[in-house]
Amino acid sequence: MSILSCPVCGEKLENSGKTYACPNRHSFDIARSGYVNLLLSKHSGGVHGDNKLMVTARRDFLEAGHYEPLREALCRKVGQFAREGSVILDAGCGEGYYTSAIIDRSKVAVELTGIDISKTAVELAAKRKCGAVFAAGSVFHLPVLSGSCDILVTLFAPYCGEEFRRVLKPGGIMIMAIPSEGHLWELKTAIYDAPYKNEVKPYELEGFEFLGSERITGTAHLTDQQQIWDLFTMTPYYYKTGSKEQERLRELTELEVTTDFELLTYRNI
């Protein structure tokens, strides 16, 4: 069952094999890799998501298993709420590292759709052939039917409460991952003269009932310069750091860095 909606008129999109089309004859071709581009230029805001450098660095870093505890906790949390046939949306799915695991580790059959503003990311996600539907789109203008989702997952993506509430069914579950205060502390101390801890904002969100928080902490052992650079490149720090500070990082050949996440669970009210 498709939950994708036409970004032009909002009507339901149906998959004909090579295209997605709505009753008003708006049509969108499915790329060879398997994703569909539903991102309208007026909805991109001039932003097209993570570029190829960031996406490939994140893919390589994640596939090395450094964030596996978070992936495991996420799949376990989704499993608490998923039922046979549950419709799940990964809003800001990136290259599909977490999306594919949700399907692979689910004890029941689920229908999963991943949306990301980066066409580079969703192309890599689609190439996983994990059984999910992937589309390029903005989380601020989700090309998803209203009230169609049982569970929405959002990991480090921009928060858009109005859109998330719209696509969730009444009583639907939102699972959100955020960096906690100590996340990547050693990476920041290696780069900056005066690093600071991450700010964790109050958990309460308008329109949602807060169900609880789970903290997942650990240590990532980076054993070569490439792993260190992949981590740095996949973070916003890469574009906010001068050449002098970057050179400090280039000199490191190993690093133990704290991973510190919070998994927040909400119910749509």
Q: pLDDT tens, 193-252? A: 899 999 999 999 999 999 999 999 999 999 999 999 999 999 988 888 889 889 999 999
Q: Is residue 186 domain-resident?
A: yes
Output the domain CATH number for residue 195.
3.40.50.150
Over its C-alpha atoms, the chain yields an Rg (Å, rounded) of 19
Amino acid at 196: Y
Closest to 132 (Cα-Cα) out of 101, 163, 111, 108 = 111
The CA distance from 204 to 127, in Å, is 37
Give the model's pLDDT for residue 47: 53
Q: What are phi and psi of 49, to 5 degrees?
A: 75, -170
Does residue 176 belong to any structural domain of this protein?
A: yes
Q: Is residue 24 situated within a structural domain? A: no
Model pTM score: 0.94
- Asked if the structure places residue 204 within a domain, the reply is yes
pLDDT beyond 70 at 48:
no
Domain assignment of residue 4, yes or no? no
Does 23 reside within a domain? no
Residues contacting 179, CB < 8 A, separation 6+: 156, 198, 260, 261, 262
Q: Is residue 12 part of a domain?
A: no
Average pLDDT, the chain: 95
Is residue 8 one of the residues assigned to a domain? Answer: no
Q: How many domains does the chain have?
A: 1
What does the pLDDT look like over 14-31, one tens digit per residue? Answer: 999 999 999 999 999 999
Domain of 199? 36-268
